[in-house]
Amino acid sequence: MGGNALGATRPRLSRQAYNDVVTDLKTLLVPKFYACVEQPRSFASKTSFGDVDLLATLPSSPLDPFKDVGSTASSVNGNILSFEFRGFQIDIIQVSEELMELARFFYGYGDTGIIFGMFTRNIGLKFGMQGLTLKCETYKIKLSHDLKAILQFLGLSHDCWRQGFQTQEEMFCFIQSSKYFRPSFFSRQNPEVLELDALKRTNGSKVFESPTIWNHEARHRLAERPVFRAWIQYVEGLPFNQDRIDAGQVKAAALDAFSKQDELRTIEEHLALTRRVKAKFNGALVMKWTNHQVKGKNLGLLMESFSARYTKAKIDQMAEDQVQDAFVGFYQEQM
């Protein structure tokens, strides 16, 4: 997880050494610092580990376990604590208790979170450590952080995931079984790249299947992460002749499955109100009404003051000339 967060290249651990380190760390950390500490799942075939990743429920108070475990180096990056222990790097990923199952899935088997993040992004959704979300312009709708509900929506078996995977191929088959999965989501050489990219640039709603995921970050992941690299090789061996995914249909299905239609309607109504108000009251109009005497920061402050007196709802009920008269009167009061 943290890679070389401590700035040094360290030896890999054998599975036995890894298990010994994890056991000893749990003894040191639970219950003094954390109520629960566990390691993410890994394939049985994995024989060595570059570092030790641990999942831990958020502590009830700030803590500094580094000295207690005899660490000679440490760093903090958001919710991840990295420190040295017996010459190895330890990364503790702190999550709330309600997000622990999601964390088990996200960090399990090396690259599950990366793969699912790219997968869901291609169907107009986002999967991360806060769960499954949907973006509506500048707003984000939180669909769910319940892993079972998320997997059910994607057409995947929660029971299958709980049973675990012995090999990479078992996990790959699990992901592939999603009703929304398409191999082209992960293609590096798709003949429709230009067409799909153009649709995305123009907010086309027909498809959301863009192979433009191969940015610098994706190429770096492919080069550095063996599970992700194996996944891409696996996908490239699958037929690419499946039908496309309609982002509008996925969005509608998600809103229905997670009962978020009312929230979307509220957001859309607010966005529509904002657009109507902006057509009557905006920076260009205010500069015109003040004969370009007010600009820059002062323009923003003046508009903010006016908005405190005239709410969006009030402006929405006014004609444009009424808004102008109201603003000019307000402006003269300020002089």
Helix (H) or strand (E) holding 228: helix 226-236
Give 120's contacts (C-beta < 8 A, 6+ positions apart). 126, 127, 132, 154
Q: Which of 12, 8, 1 has the alpha carbon at shortest distance from 56?
A: 1
CA distance 286 to 278: 11
Question: Which of 294, 325, 289, 292 shows the shortest CA–CA distance to 310?
Answer: 325
pLDDT band at 7 (very low <50, low <70, confident <90, very high): low
Domains contained in the chain, number: 3
Among 95, 117, 146, the domain-final residue is: 95
Q: pTM of whole model > 0.85?
A: no
Task: Give the length of the chain.
Answer: 335
Please check whether residues 273 and 328 belong to one and the same domain: yes
What domain range includes position 223?
102-259
How far is 261 from 189, CA to CA, in rounded Å? 37
Highest mean pLDDT among 22-31, 74-83, 252-261: 252-261
Residue 212 has pLDDT above 80, yes or no: no
Which H or E run contains 127? strand 125-128
* Mean pLDDT within 91-118: 93
What does the alpha-carbon distance between residue 134 and residue 140 come to, in Å, rounded to a whole number?
6
Q: Which of 27, 17, 96 is CA-nearest to residue 52?
A: 17
- pLDDT at residue 9 above 70? no
Same domain (yes/no): 317, 247: no
- Of the pLDDT bands very low, low, confident and very high (cuts 50, 70, 90), residue 182 is very high
The residue among 71, 95, 119 that closes a domain is 95
